[in-house]
Chain A
Amino acid sequence: MTHDPSSVSSAVTIGFALLLAAMIASLAFEEKLHAKKSVIVAGFAALCLLLGGLLDLLPFSEMVIVVGEEHIDLPIYIPAIDWEVVAIILGSSLFVDITSKSGLFTWIAIALTKTSKGDPLRLLMFYGVMTVAFSAVLNNVTAMIIVGSLTAVSLTRLQLGDKLLGFLLIEGLLTNVGGLLTLISSVPNIIVGDAAGITFMTFFTRAAPYVVVVTGITIWMGAKVFGIHPLASDEARSVAAQRVSGFDENDGIKSRFKFNFGAVMLGAFIVTIAAASIPDTVLHSLGMGYVALSFAVIMLVQYKSIADRFYQAVDWDLLAFFGALFVVINVMEHAQVLALIGRGVTPILGLGDTIGPATMLVSAAVTSSVTDNIPLAAMLATILGNLDLSADSPYWWAVIFGANLGGNITPIGSASTLVAVTIIHKHGLALSFASFVRAALPFAVVQLGLAAVYVLWVL
């Protein structure tokens, strides 16, 4: 991509590498800096572009598209952005946000609560499975918000406040497990899957067995560690059933038509996204971003007069963060920083087919546990992409599993565990950084251990 890699001096490469390290460190201290991710990364993107231009690293002359007799000049930062990823995230977040307005997800959540009849163990199992399913369809943060807020309300109703911390922690950990279920379940999946050429269906069929097994194990461990047992007496069961019977799953449904339409469209969305995996089809050519945006538009027709409210609700911080991040990574590529990191990764690749991917998985997990997994995934995807690895190389899966599950080691490792901790603190429960790590580490070790076994010997 760089016009002449050999023309970039080591000093320039190291300088840009330091800039990249500074950006990652800033992201890790996002809360302390009181700055949104988008602002942090956009600042670094602007600086990188300026320095890249001044140092003649950027191929400005190549930024002209010839269409017939027309020559279109593109700003250097436009092709740097992976618009397919942006389209998938924008389209699916809009689609999911509008669908949730129909009351579909809250209906499912409350119906499951009532089906549990208030039994704590059954509630943990239902909420655990629901967290994984919602994380697979929605983004992890929204899934955690829905399940976490319902958990707080229902456990308060059942007078099980002492179990709230355990429930929320397990749910937080399961968001990152659920994030592994489909290609669109988490951003690292989208980025790495896109770079590796892994289709939606391939991703699902390969990841699902692991997700099912680890969900079961995590819930089982959670029940043991946090003392969540089934109710012992008929009287206790009767009282609990009466307490949850007051929940009305239909309360949040403003229009039955919109509710049914939302349910049908959600099913259609998943099927169509999966269909876009089939090669040599129009949908495949148009891409998953097109599918996501089209479904968002169809849903918006239901709310055409107030569509602007949904635009306001889009996570522009996340989208701007992506845009800026891709620009930074593009400049880093031109500055040979990714090649430098790639040379650092090469020894891992040289460790062989077993230790190599396992080391990659653990390294990705440890890095993701202390900083944002998106830049990591974007960087590693670019580096692995430049190595011409095949789509079924275990290294891709090592990055995917490591980047997702690394979020379970610390409370800052993923946005969804941070939400879980926020809900815990909101309800007056004490959970420090160290106590989170103490509680979560056994789960993370088991999940990562099983992931390594799965990636190396099952996939």
Chain B
Amino acid sequence: MTKLDQFESVFLAADKTALHYEKLAVEHVLVVSDVNDDAATALWQQVRTFLSVLDDPSTRWARLDGGGFSSVQQLLDIVDAEAPDLIVTYRHLHSSAWQWPHSLGEYLDVLTQATPVPVVVLPHPDTALALPHTVQNTDRVMAITDHLSGDDRLVNYALGFTQPGGSCWLTHVEPQAVFDHYLEVISKIPEIDTDSARELIERQLLKEPRDYIESCRQIAERSLSCEIGEIVTMGRRLSEYRRLIEAHRVDLLVVNTMDEDQLAMHGLAYPLAVELRQIPLLML
């Protein structure tokens, strides 16, 4: 039944996943910091400027300064009571561990997993690590994943955070190491032609996100005022992401955080959140 499989493959390939666009609705934003008074106000103003794309007469902005909470439980209770649509904060709240770039700090660790609310993670105000162009506006947003096709939530957030006239980069980096591993196995199976397998699998792996991005581009052309950029490539994920972020002077990086299969943060999100400390991240 080789022919049956051939035609089924043709039809499966023709069945393309398209973006189901939904306008982002962020009606309540909570800015959480571990500073007070002038420092907190300065941060608050910087965030309002940075996220001006969310400004809408109906959007309610609230702030929780350092004196407002002193434990993770307290923070979670406040978040629960406020029920924000978005939290804006930074790493290592109430901690000096920001000096050692090896974790997110206990507050952010729990916050990103214990609540379903998306979190914008800013560069720590004390580190002076933020790249010069960042935390000013969101005219260059990048959504990044290793499985872009069908990830409507990720893309809708990325589009929603892109300022009018800005660029939204949709990025799919196929893990080269995994691909190489499978190819190594295939090279030991006589029934499968290794060169054909390499060419065809790579082509199909990259075609699916490209088709999906094309559907995003069509929607953007019809009903949005931003430009869609496409980056679909094979690569070593973290180093590739770092290179792309620098090359495109990204203002905000959008990544998935939740993983349905585990309590811990998404396997890719955690190293990104730990290592990419120079630009704001939107962790979904």
Contact = CB atoms under 8 A, between A and B. Distances in A.
**Same complex:** yes
B100 interface: no
A153 interface: yes
Interface in A122-161: 142, 145-146, 148-150, 152-154, 157
A247 B211 CA distance: 11
Contact of A149 (B8, B17, B18, B211): B8
B35 to A, nearest CB: 48
A245 interface: yes
Most A Cβ at <10 Å: residue of B4, B7, B12: B7
Contacts of A252: 10, 13-14
Contact of A150 (B11, B16, B18): B11
A422 B4 CA distance: 10
B261 interface: no
A142 B2 CA distance: 11
Most B Cβ at <10 Å: residue of A149, A248, A251: A149
Interface in B15-32: 15-18, 20
A423 interface: yes
Most B Cβ at <10 Å: residue of A106, A109, A251: A251
A42 B11 CA distance: 37
A146 to B, nearest CB: 5
Contacts of A245: 18
5 contacts: A109-B11, A142-B3, A153-B12, A248-B14, A423-B4
A109 B14 CA distance: 11
A146 B7 CA distance: 6
A152 B7 CA distance: 11
A122 B126 CA distance: 65
Interface of B: 1, 3-4, 7-8, 10-18, 20, 211
A246 interface: yes
Given A106-B14, A148-B4, A245-B18, 6 more contacts: A110-B11, A142-B3, A145-B4, A248-B14, A422-B4, A423-B4
A153 B15 contact: yes
Contact of A247 (B1, B8, B15, B20): B15
A426 B8 CA distance: 12
A145 B18 contact: no
A422 B1 CA distance: 9
A145 B15 contact: no
A214 interface: no
B23 to A, nearest CB: 17
A366 interface: no
B10 A152 contact: no
B10 A106 contact: yes
A249 B17 CA distance: 14
Smallest CB-CB A-B distances: 8 pairs: A149-B8, A251-B14, A153-B11, A149-B7, A150-B11, A145-B4, A252-B10, A246-B18
Contacts of B14: 106, 110, 247-249, 251-252
Contacts of B13: 251-252
A109 to B, nearest CB: 8
B127 to A, nearest CB: 45
A149 B1 CA distance: 11
